[in-house]
A = this chain, B = another copy of it.
Amino acid sequence: MFSSVFEYLNETKKQIDAHISDFLPTAHGNPEIDFLYRLMRDYPMRPGKRLRPALCFLTCEMFGGKTQDAIHTATALELLQSWLLIHDDIEDESILRRGEPCLHHQHGVPVAINVGDALHCKMWEMLNQNVSLLGYELSFQILSEFIQLSNRVVEGQHIELSWMREKRWDVSEEDYWMMCVQKTAWYTCITPCRLGALISSTVKPDQLAQFVQIGSDLGVAFQIQDDVLNLIGEEGTYGKEIAGDISEGKRTLMLIHLFRSCTQNESAILKKIMSKPRKEKTEVEVYDVLNLMKEYNSIQYAEQKSKQFAKKASDGFDQVASALPGEPAKQVFKNLIDFVIERQY
């Protein structure tokens, strides 16, 4: 069912990885700088779906554009993902990323912060290359999209960190959707689609605007599925430690559902466990939480919600897509929406 999606993601991955590899600096006479260059290649070269570049390419194609025109922009989305993940992993005290120890576990927090900053700078450098490819006007429009998205993503991240820091467990589903849209949907779905459409140069303002809702729904579906996989995935396939979100104390839809569904007594125990710093949580406690989620069907509930959001994204997409020429890309995009909620990694 997803063969067209896998094919598209693989093809995208090849192009993006090659472009990143050509772009990032390789060697330096100074041994320390040389080592920095090696570290800068680490996260971007780890296995990953390259979902964001693929969404950008697909939208570009379905509006009749050429993916070559989107190469710098799509690659910049992957560089964005890299610096965000490096910093996120420090902030969340994560252990594994894409099957390997997080950068700060290998080289310490100070070096990892700086490598993230280095890749952040490289993202803007990549976008600056658009001038010779796309001209000034479109290049600046693309920069503006990245600025908008960056503002959202740091806001979403701050909301989540605040909940953690203030030990807030009274987060509502509405709070959670808002955080998801800011933190995940903008950079994962909304902006990649908008960028692809802009680069095609055929998109009308109202079509561009529609991708905010479509991308928002798809992004939330993606995030929920990501959190579900964190609980029930297989470590080898998923690339992070299983139930790491519980160890981290992350607010997920499952947890919000569980808090709403369990007894007062259970809720008090839950708060106590979840509020403990990662290092103080025992494995037994993590599994107690996980089992409680299973008992109250919280995971099922989240999967259902994820499907609802994906359906909404799909319906919204159909409305935009009916007027568009790029047939194969449209179909792959539709399949990709299903893939987002069915994927195992």
Contacts and interface: CB of A to CB of B under 8 A. Distances in A.
A158 interface: yes
- Residue of A92, A113, A157, A165 with most partner-chain B CB within 10 A: A113
A108 interface: yes
A68 interface: no
Contacts of A32: 158-159, 162-163
Contacts of A150: 121, 124-125
A110 interface: yes
A198 to B, nearest CB: 15
B124 A159 contact: no
A111 B88 CA distance: 11
Given A30-B178, A128-B147, A136-B140, A161 B87 contact: no
Interface string A109-130: 1110111011011101100100
A185 to B, nearest CB: 16
Interface in A1-59: 30, 32-33, 35-36
A162 B35 CA distance: 9
A131 interface: yes
A120 to B, nearest CB: 6
Contacts of A107: 165
A262 interface: no
Contacts of A30: 159, 178
A155 interface: yes
Q: Which interface class (under 10, 10 to 19, 20 to 34, 35 or more) fits A?
A: 35 or more
A161 B111 contact: yes
A165 B36 contact: no
A183 to B, nearest CB: 11
Contacts of A91: 109-110, 113-114
Contact of A154 (B121, B139, B159): B121
A158 B36 contact: yes
A36 to B, nearest CB: 4
Given A91-B113, A165-B110, A155 B36 contact: yes
B33 A155 contact: yes
Nearest to A124: B124
A87 B125 CA distance: 20
Given A117-B154, A121-B151, 6 more contacts: A33-B155, A109-B109, A124-B150, A125-B150, A128-B147, A136-B136
21 contacts: A30-B159, A32-B162, A33-B159, A35-B158, A35-B162, A36-B154, A87-B114, A90-B109, A90-B113, A91-B113, A91-B114, A109-B109, A111-B162, A113-B113, A118-B158, A120-B120, A121-B150, A122-B151, A124-B143, A128-B143, A131-B140
